[in-house]
């Protein structure tokens, strides 16, 4: 079956718009998490934080967790109590 688009750029552009919208919805619902996330990212830049499998929890890896929590916009979990 041939691809439905000529370039993956179209797919990534649509994905980016959706992720951006979900972030806006999340932070509108949980505005205190803006500063909380910034603080966590600063901490992770300075400290060597490990996850249970021994891998490092980097700022990028932490932000990737948001994809799992924010998969359905309004049903996102707030970060309080998780970190």
Q: Give the residue carrying structure tokens 């619902």.
A: 29
Each residue's pLDDT tens digit, 18-38 = 989 988 998 999 999 999 999
Each residue's pLDDT tens digit, 47-60 = 999 988 899 999 99
**Count of structural domains within the chain:** 1
In a domain? residue 59: yes
Mean pLDDT of the chain: 82
- Compute CA 82 distance to the chain's CA centroid, rounded to the nearest angstrom: 14
In a domain? residue 83: no
79 with 36: CB under 8 angstroms? yes
Which range marks the domain in which residue 18 is found?
A: 10-72
3-state secondary structure of 56: strand
pLDDT at 75 over 60: no
Q: What are the backbone angles phi and psi of residue 76, rounded to the nearest 5°?
A: -60, 150
pTM above 0.75, yes or no: no
């Amino acid at each position: 079956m041939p691809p439905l688009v000529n370039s993956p750029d179209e797919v990534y552009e649509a994905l980016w718009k959706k992720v951006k919208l979900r972030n806006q919805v999340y932070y509108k619902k949980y505005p205190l998490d803006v500063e909380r996330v910034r603080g966590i990212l600063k901490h992770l830049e300075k400290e060597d934080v490990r996850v249970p499998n021994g891998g490092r929890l980097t700022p990028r890896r932490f932000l990737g967790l948001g994809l799992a929590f924010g998969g359905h916009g309004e049903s996102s979990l707030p970060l309080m109590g998780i970190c």
